[in-house]
Amino acid sequence: MDLKIRQLSKHYANVAALDAIDLDVESGELVALLGPSGSGKTTLLRVIAGLLHPDSGRVLFGENDATSLSLRERNVGFVFQHYALFKHMTVAENIAFGLRSRPRRRRPDKAAIKRRVDELLTLIQLPEFGARYPEQLSGGQKQRVALARALAIDPTVLLLDEPFGALDAKVRVELRRWLRRLHEQTGQTTLFVTHDQEEALELADRVVVLKDGGIEQVGTPDEIYGEPASAYVFDFIGRANTLEGRIDGGQFVLDGHALRLPADTDDSGPAQLYVRPHDLAPTALDTGLRAEVAAVHRRADRTTLELRVQGQAKPLEFDWPAASQAAVPAAGSEIGLQLLRYRVYPAR
Ligand SMILES: Nc1ncnc2c1ncn2[C@@H]1O[C@H](COP(=O)(O)OP(=O)(O)OP(=O)(O)O)[C@@H](O)[C@H]1O
C-alpha cells in the first residue's frame, strides 16, 4: 500500500513539531526518516500510526483518507525502541496477539494462526523459540520478535521507531542488514525512524532528512550523500570541512585561490564551501590550495592531517590517501591541496 502525507502540521505550544509536511511513500518502499533529536521524526510516525492527532493535514493509505481512523482501524504495524513484548506471554503468543484479538468475524481460526506464527518464526530466523518467554531472549532477539508481531496482521504500513536504538553497536549493524534482507523478502511498505545517518544510508531505498519539523531533502542514499541540498544535510550526513569565501563570476574565491563552480551557478556573495576529508588530494604547491600541516593524527584505519589554510578560522581535516606512495608530510610542512569533490552553499 502506498502512503501519502499532505500538509501535515502539529504544534506543541509555540514549537512546530511538524510544519506542513508533504511526503509520498511508494508501495514496497523502505523509507528512513532521519534527523537530529527534536526534528519531528517520532511525531510524524505517531501521526501516521493514528497515535497522535495532527492540527491539520491528511494521511492517505492508497486512495483512502485515514486521518480520522484509529490505530486499530489503520491496521499499521509498530515497533518501538524499547521492547514492548508482553512479558507473561510466550514468543508465539506475542506474535499471535494481533490476530487473536481481532473481532470474531475477522479472526483466523486456530490452525491458521499457528501457521502464520510458524511462518513468522522462520522469517525472523527463530524457528525454535516459540515457547520461550521474552526474558529468555537477547535484546536483538526481542526486537526480531517485536517485528514478527507487527508483521502478523499484514499491516498496511510498518512503522519502526529506532527499533535497534537500545542495542549495542555491533548487534545494531547486524540487525539492520538483516532487516534489509527481510524487507527484500516481504516487500512491506516501511517507515524507519533513526538519528543515525549510517543506518539510514545503509538500510533505506530513500531517506527523508528532517529539520525543525520540516523536510530538508528527500532522496536515495546516493543523492543524499553525493548531492546534499543544503549545508545542513552535508553536515549531518558525514564528516565535513568548511571553507569561508565568496561566489564571484562563477567561481568560489578565497585568499589567493579560486575554484570552479557548476556552470549554472548564478549566485554571488559570501558563501561556504563544504568538502569531505577523503575528497581532498595532495597536489603541487603552486597549483593547489596552500595549507600548512598543523598536526598528524595516526589511527588504526587512517592517517588524518590537520591543516591550516591562510585566512580560515577553522582547520581542515584531510585523510591522507592510504594508497599514496609519498611519505606522510610532517607537521610544520606546507602542502598543495586539490579538492576532488565539493559543494558550495551561499551564506544564509
Ligand atoms: N508531548 C509533547 N509536548 C510538548 N512538546 C513536544 C511533545 N512531543 C514532542 N514535542 C516537541 O516536538 C518537537 C519534535 O519532537 P519529536 O519527538 O517528534 O522529535 P524526534 O525527531 O523524534 O526526536 P528524538 O530523536 O529525540 O526522539 C520537539 O521540539 C519536541 O520537544
Indicate the length of the chain as a whole number: 348
Closest CA to 36 of 213, 256, 277, 299: 213
Interval 252-260 mean pLDDT: 88
Instruction: Please choose from 39, 47, 160, 211 the residue to mutate so as to test ligand 1's pocket, defined by most ligand atoms within 8 A of CB.
Output: 39
- Amino acid at position 242, single letter: T
Q: Which residues pair with 296 in a beta bridge?
A: 305
Sign, CA dihedral 70-76-77-80, equals negative
Q: Which residues pair with 290 in a beta bridge?
A: 336
Domain 3-232 has CATH 3.40.50.300: yes
* Ligand 1 atom closest to residue 195's alpha carbon, by position in its atom list: 25
Per-residue pLDDT of 89-104, as tens digits, reads 999 999 999 899 888 8
Query: Residue 97: is it exposed, middle or buried by C-beta count within 10 angstroms (0-12/13-18/19+)?
Result: middle
- State in Å: Cα 231 to ligand 1 middle: 23
3-state class of 30 per DSSP? strand
3-state class of 52 per DSSP? coil
Is the predicted pLDDT of residue 309 greater than 80, yes or no?
Answer: yes
Q: Residue 46's pLDDT is what?
A: 94
Closest protein CA for atom 5 of ligand 1: 12
Interval 288-305 mean pLDDT: 91
121-125, 232-236, 299-303: range with lowest mean pLDDT: 299-303
ipTM score above 0.90: yes
- State in Å: Cα 42 to ligand 1 middle: 7
Question: What is the domain partition of the chain in residue ranges?
Answer: 3-232, 241-346
* Ligand 1 atom closest to residue 42's alpha carbon, by position in its atom list: 22
Q: Residue 324's pLDDT is what?
A: 77
- Cα angle, residue 187 at apex, residues 186 and 189 outer, rounded to 5°: 120
Where helices occur in the chain by DSSP H, the ranges are 41-49, 71-74, 91-100, 110-123, 139-151, 169-186, 197-203, 221-226, 231-237
Interval 198-220 mean pLDDT: 96
How far is 338 from 137, CA to CA, in rounded Å? 52
Q: CB of 274 within 8 A of CB of 231?
A: yes
Query: Quick one: angle between helices 139-151 and 91-100, nearest 10?
Result: 20
- The string of DSSP letters for 273-307 reads EEE-GGGEEEE-TTTSEEEEEEEEEE-SS-EEEEE
Q: Residue 83's pLDDT is what?
A: 64
Q: Which residues pair with 60 in a beta bridge?
A: 4, 65
Q: Residue 168's pLDDT is what?
A: 87
**pLDDT band at residue 4 using 50, 70 and 90 as cut-offs:** very high
pLDDT exceeding 70 applies to what percent of the chain?
100
Per-residue pLDDT of 54-86, as tens digits, reads 999 999 999 899 999 988 889 899 998 876 799
- State in Å: Cα 250 to ligand 1 middle: 41
**pLDDT band at residue 339 using 50, 70 and 90 as cut-offs:** very high
Per-residue pLDDT of 149-192, as tens digits, reads 999 998 989 999 998 888 888 888 988 998 999 899 889 999 99
The mean pLDDT of the chain is 92
Interval 106-117 mean pLDDT: 92
Q: Residue 80's pLDDT is what?
A: 83
Per-residue pLDDT of 23-53, as tens digits, reads 999 999 999 999 999 999 999 999 999 999 9
| Ligand 1 neighbours (beta carbon < 6 A) | 12, 15, 17, 35, 37-43, 195
CATH assignment of 241-346?
2.40.50.140
- State in Å: Cα 41 to ligand 1 middle: 8
Q: Residue 256's pLDDT is what?
A: 78
Closest protein CA for atom 30 of ligand 1: 38
